[in-house]
């Protein structure tokens, strides 16, 4: 099992994606499961080599997220059989970078998957105001 979590003051409380093997995924918000489904064959093919490579690679030095700033985000990546998260990074933008090539590629895939799942659950739509709908206040 692999868990990717992002949390911060802007946009998110705590959002996580948990992969159970390369078969099932769960999306969590604030620790509660909000969606779950089977992984597609394409997702399994993309994620499998990245997870294997990250699992075999050396454990990177953890960068403890610094508190402060409204744009601050913290990202963690944890493998089930390990006592502490494999990666813990502070990030100003997503996907987080700085843990090494193998981890950065995995973090980017997991972040894109989590974002897509959250968007599918609650799509955000922009509302356009046309010129004739504006009111002239005098």
pLDDT digits (tens, 9 = 90+) for 55-101: 887 776 565 555 445 566 788 898 887 778 888 888 877 888 888 88
Domains held by the chain: number: 1
Task: Write down the pTM of the prediction.
Answer: 0.77
Contacts of 17 (CB under 8 A, 6+ apart): 3, 4, 5, 25, 26, 27, 28, 110, 113, 114, 117
What φ, ψ does residue 91 adopt, rounded to 5°?
Answer: -140, 140
* Residue 49 forms part of a structural domain: yes
The pLDDT score that the predictor gives to residue 85 is 84
Domain containing 58: what range?
2-133
* Residue 138 forms part of a structural domain: no
* Confidence category of residue 133, pLDDT binned at 50, 70, 90: low
* Residue 29 forms part of a structural domain: yes
CA neighbor of 96 nearest in space, from 4, 2, 25? 4
Distance CA 58, CA 91 (A): 21
The pLDDT score that the predictor gives to residue 9 is 62
């Amino acid at each position: 099992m692999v868990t990717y979590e992002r949390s911060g003051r802007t946009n998110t409380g705590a959002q996580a994606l948990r992969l159970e093997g390369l078969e099932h995924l769960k999306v969590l918000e604030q620790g509660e499961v909000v969606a779950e489904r089977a992984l597609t064959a394409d997702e399994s093919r993309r994620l499998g080599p990245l997870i294997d490579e990250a699992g075999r690679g050396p454990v990177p030095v953890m960068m403890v997220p610094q508190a402060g700033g409204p744009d601050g985000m913290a990202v963690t990546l944890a493998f089930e059989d390990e006592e502490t998260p494999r990666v813990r990074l502070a990030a100003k933008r997503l996907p987080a970078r700085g843990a090494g090539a193998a981890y950065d590629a995995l973090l980017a895939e997991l972040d894109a998957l989590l974002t897509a799942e959250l968007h599918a659950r609650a799509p955000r739509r922009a509302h356009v105001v046309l010129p004739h709908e504006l009111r002239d206040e005098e």
